C-alpha cells in the first residue's frame, strides 16, 4: 500500500500546479486591495461554468467519495438517490430560491434571515451553522480524507489531516472564494476523469478483461441485491433508506436544506454575475450530479466482489485504488485529494464568511475592508485547526461516516427548511414563528429519536418538517400581526426561466424516471 515514484511525481505536480493557478487567478490589479466582496463573493464575477464546477467540487468531498462508496459497499445503488434526487432539487433551487436571494444582494443565509425576520434569528442560525460546519462537516472531510491517505500510503491519520489542511490553506487562504471557484473547474475535471477511470478498471476486472459494460452486467448478475433502488422493509438497511421516502418523503427536506439554504453550497450562486448566469451554473451542476453515482457508488458495489473481506466499508474506495497501475494510481489519488481539499477550502471560506459578516461585522463598529479580509483568513485557519483536533473523538468509531453525517444533520434540517420556506413564501410568518420551527426541529427530532428509535431517520425528518411547519404557522397565527413588515415581495421577483433551463429540467426528470424504472 504505497505510491510509486511515478505516482508521487504525478501527485506533486498536481499540488504545485493548483497552488500556482489559484494564486494567479486571485491576484488583484496593482493598487487594489481585496475587500470583503472580493474575498467572500469573488467580486460577483463568477461565470456559469465556474459556478457549476464549484458546486460539485464543494459537494463531492471525502464524505461522498469515501463515505458514499462505503455505503455502496454495504447498501448498494439505493444510496445513489442522494445524488440523483439532488439533480431535481438543484432545478427547484435555481427557479424558485435563487431569484429571491440574488434580488436581496446578500452575502450569507443568516443575513437573509435578518432581512426577513430580525437580528435574533440571524445570530442564532449563524452560531448554529458555524457549529455544524466545524464539528460535523469539516471533521468528516478531514477524517475520511486522512483515512484514504492512510489506506493508500500508510501515512499516519493525523499527518494526513495536517497535510490536507495545509494544502487547502495554501491555495485558498489568500484568494478566498475566487481562488476556490476558479480552481474548482480543474478539480472537477480531474475528479470526473480519475473517478471514471477507477470505475472502469474495477468493472473491467469483474468482467475479466472484457470491458466495463460486460463487467457491469456481471456485477448486476452476481450481486443483484445491490441494485435495488427502493428498499423493502425486510432489507437490513431499510432504516437508512426507507422505501419510497427517498422519492416522496424526507429526502426532499434533506436536499432542499443542503442545496437551497446551506451557505457552504449556495455561496457560489450568490457570487454570480446575475440570475441567468447562476441558473446556467445550477443546470450544469445538475447534469454532473447524474454522473456522480458512477464515480462514487459503483466502485463501492464493485468492491463487494473484488474485496469481499474488508474490515470497514469506508475502506472500499481507497483499497480499490491500490489495484491501479503505477502513474494512473497517482492520477486517481490526485483526483481524490482534489475533491477533499476543494471541499475543505469551500467549507472554511463559508465559515469565515458567516463569522465575519454575520457575527463580527454585525457589531456595527467601523473597520476597514482589509481588516475583515484578515479576520476571514484567521477564522479559516482556526476552524481547520479545531476540526483536526476533534475529528478522531467524533468520527473514529463510525463504520459509515456518510450515514452519520446525514443522520446528525437530520436533527436540524426540518426546521431550517420550514424557516426558509415560510419566510420566503408566507408573508404572515413572524420572527417567533420562524424561531419556533428552527429550535423545535432539534427538540422534536431528539424526542422521536429517544422514544421512537425504530422510525427511520429519513421518515423522522419528513414528520418533523410537517410538525415544524405547523408550529411556525400556529405561533404566527397566535401573534396575529398580519403581513410581516419585512416579508418578501414576490410581486417584484420574476420566477420565469429561459427555455434552455426549462428543457434541461425536463431532460433531467426523464433521465431519472429511466434510472428508477430500470432499478426499481
Q: Minimal CA–CA distance to 181: which of 63, 353, 277, 42? A: 42
299-338 tens-digit pLDDT:
999 999 998 888 788 788 888 887 778 887 888 788 778 7
463-475 tens-digit pLDDT:
999 999 999 999 9
- What pLDDT score was predicted for residue 267? 83
Which residues, in sequence order, are CB contacts of 496 under 8 Å at separation 6+?
A: none
Identify the three-state secondary structure at position 272. Answer: strand
476-485 tens-digit pLDDT:
999 988 898 8
* Residue 40 pLDDT greater than 70, yes or no: no
**CB–CB of 253/468 below 8 Å?**
no
- Which domains occur in the chain, in start order? 5-27+45-403 (1.20.1730.10), 411-488 (no CATH)
Q: Which three cell numbers stand for residue 461?
A: 425528518
**CB–CB of 271/46 below 8 Å?**
yes
Q: Specify whether the backbone of 30 is left (phi greater than 0), alpha (psi in -120 to 50) or beta.
A: beta
Report, in this order, helix, strand and coil percent for the chain, each rounded to 5.
Answer: 80, 0, 20
- What pLDDT score was predicted for residue 441? 94
C-alpha dist (Å) from residue 466 to 245, 260, 495, 514: 14, 18, 25, 30
**CB–CB of 469/253 below 8 Å?**
no
Alpha carbons 291 and 23: distance in angstroms, whole number? 30
Chain-wide mean pLDDT for the chain? 85
Q: Minimal CA–CA distance to 55: which of 110, 93, 97? A: 93
Alpha carbons 246 and 319: distance in angstroms, whole number? 29
Q: Using DSSP, how many helices (H) and how many strands (E) does the chain show?
A: 26, 0
**CB–CB of 317/65 below 8 Å?**
yes
Please compute the mean of the pLDDT values over residues 292-298 and round it to a whole number.
Answer: 90
Q: Minimal CA–CA distance to 150: which of 137, 159, 162? A: 159
- For residue 520, name the pLDDT band (cuts at 50, 70, 90): confident
Query: Cβ atoms within 10 A of the Cβ of 440, count?
Result: 20
45-94 tens-digit pLDDT:
788 988 898 888 878 876 677 778 888 998 989 999 989 999 999 999 99
Identify the three-state secondary structure at position 104. Answer: helix
- What pLDDT score was predicted for residue 174? 65
- For residue 175, name the pLDDT band (cuts at 50, 70, 90): low
DSSP letter for each residue of 7-71: HHHHHHHHHHHHHHHHHHHHPPPTT----HHHHHHGGG-B-HHHHHHHHHHHHSSHIIIIIIHHH
- For residue 33, name the pLDDT band (cuts at 50, 70, 90): low
- What pLDDT score was predicted for residue 206? 92
Radius of gyration of the chain (CA): 22
Query: Cβ atoms within 10 A of the Cβ of 371, count?
Result: 14
Alpha carbons 222 and 229: distance in angstroms, whole number? 17
CA angle 208-214-215, nearest 5°? 60
- What pLDDT score was predicted for residue 470? 97
- What pLDDT score was predicted for residue 321? 82
Widest CA span in the chain: 71
Q: At what angle do helices 499-518 and 81-92 cross, to 10 degrees?
A: 160
Q: Which residue(s) pair with 46 in the sheet?
A: 272
Alpha carbons 407 and 150: distance in angstroms, whole number? 26
Query: Cβ atoms within 10 A of the Cβ of 469, count?
Result: 19
**Which pTM value belongs to this model?**
0.87
Q: At what angle do helices 139-153 and 328-354 cross, to 10 degrees?
A: 160
Alpha carbons 50 and 281: distance in angstroms, whole number? 7
- For residue 4, name the pLDDT band (cuts at 50, 70, 90): confident
Query: Cβ atoms within 10 A of the Cβ of 30, count?
Result: 5
Alpha carbons 479 and 430: distance in angstroms, whole number? 8
Please compute the mean of the pLDDT values over residues 424-442 and round it to a whole number.
Answer: 93
Please compute the mean of the pLDDT values over residues 432-449 and round it to a whole number.
Answer: 93
Alpha carbons 375 and 36: distance in angstroms, whole number? 10
Of all residues in the chain, what percent carry a pLDDT higher than 70?
Answer: 91
Q: Which three cell numbers stand for residue 262?
A: 446551506
- For residue 11, name the pLDDT band (cuts at 50, 70, 90): confident
Q: Which three cell numbers stand for residue 188?
A: 472537477
Amino acid at each position: 500500500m504505497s505510491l510509486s515514484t511515478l505516482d508521487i511525481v504525478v501527485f506533486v505536480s498536481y499540488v504545485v500546479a493548483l497552488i500556482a493557478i489559484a494564486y494567479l487567478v486571485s491576484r488583484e490589479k496593482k493598487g487594489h486591495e481585496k475587500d470583503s466582496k472580493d474575498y467572500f463573493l469573488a467580486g460577483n464575477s463568477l461565470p456559469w461554468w465556474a459556478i457549476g464546477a464549484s458546486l460539485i467540487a464543494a459537494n463531492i468531498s471525502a464524505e461522498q467519495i469515501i463515505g458514499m462508496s462505503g455505503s455502496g459497499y454495504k447498501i448498494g445503488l439505493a444510496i445513489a438517490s442522494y445524488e440523483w434526487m439532488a439533480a431535481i432539487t438543484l432545478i427547484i433551487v435555481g427557479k424558485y430560491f435563487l431569484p429571491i436571494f440574488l434580488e436581496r444582494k446578500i452575502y450569507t443565509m443568516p443575513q437573509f434571515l435578518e432581512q426577513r425576520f430580525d437580528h435574533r434569528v440571524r445570530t442564532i442560525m449563524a452560531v448554529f451553522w458555524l457549529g455544524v460546519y466545524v464539528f460535523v462537516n469539516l471533521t468528516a472531510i478531514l477524517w475520511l480524507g486522512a483515512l484514504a491517505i492512510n489506506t493508500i500510503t500508510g501515512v499516519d491519520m493525523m499527518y494526513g489531516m495536517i497535510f490536507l489542511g495545509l494544502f487547502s490553506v495554501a491555495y485558498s487562504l489568500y484568494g478566498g472564494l475566487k481562488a476556490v471557484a476558479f480552481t474548482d473547474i480543474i478539480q472537477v475535471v480531474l475528479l470526473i476523469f480519475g473517478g471514471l477511470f477507477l470505475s472502469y478498471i474495477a468493472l473491467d476486472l469483474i468482467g475479466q478483461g472484457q470491458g466495463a459494460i460486460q463487467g457491469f452486467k456481471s456485477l448486476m448478475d452476481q450481486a443483484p441485491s445491490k441494485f435495488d433502488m427502493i428498499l423493502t422493509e425486510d432489507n437490513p438497511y431499510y432504516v437508512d433508506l426507507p422505501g419510497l421516502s427517498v422519492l416522496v418523503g424526507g429526502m426532499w427536506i434533506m436536499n432542499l436544506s443542503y442545496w437551497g439554504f446551506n451557505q457552504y453550497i449556495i455561496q457560489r450562486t450568490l457570487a454570480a454575475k446575475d440570475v441567468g448566469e447562476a441558473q446556467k451554473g445550477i443546470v450544469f451542476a445538475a447534469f454532473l450530479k447524474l454522473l456522480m453515482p458512477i464515480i462514487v457508488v459503483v466502485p463501492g458495489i464493485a468492491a463487494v466482489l473484488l474485496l469481499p473481506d474488508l474490515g470497514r466499508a469506508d475502506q472500499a474506495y481507497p483499497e480499490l485504488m491500490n489495484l491501479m497501475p503505477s502513474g494512473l494510481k497517482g492520477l486517481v489519488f490526485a483526483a481524490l485529494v482534489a475533491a477533499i481539499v476543494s471541499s475543505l477550502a469551500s467549507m472554511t471560506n463559508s465559515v469565515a464568511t458567516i463569522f465575519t459578516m454575520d457575527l463580527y461585522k454585525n457589531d456595527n463598529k467601523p473597520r476597514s475592508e482589509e481588516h475583515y479580509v484578515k479576520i476571514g483568513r484567521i477564522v479559516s485557519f482556526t476552524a481547520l485547526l479545531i476540526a483536526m483536533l476533534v475529528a478522531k473523538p467524533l468520527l473514529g468509531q463510525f463504520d459509515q461516516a456518510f450515514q452519520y453525517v446525514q443522520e446528525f444533520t437530520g436533527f436540524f434540517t426540518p426546521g431550517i427548511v420550514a424557516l426558509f420556506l415560510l419566510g420566503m413564501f408566507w408573508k404572515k410568518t413572524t420572527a417567533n414563528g420562524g424561531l419556533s420551527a428552527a429550535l423545535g426541529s432539534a427538540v422534536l427530532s431528539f424526542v422521536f429519536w429517544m422514544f421512537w428509535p425504530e422510525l427511520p431517520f429519513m421518515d423522522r425528518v419528513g414528520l418533523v418538517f410537517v410538525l415544524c411547519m405547523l408550529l411556525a404557522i400556529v405561533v404566527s397565527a397566535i401573534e396575529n400581526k398580519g403581513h410581516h413588515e419585512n416579508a418578501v415581495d414576490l410581486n417584484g421577483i420574476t420566477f420565469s426561466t429561459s427555455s434552455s433551463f426549462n428543457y434541461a429540467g425536463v431532460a433531467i426528470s426523464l433521465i431519472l424516471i429511466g434510472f428508477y424504472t430500470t432499478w426499481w
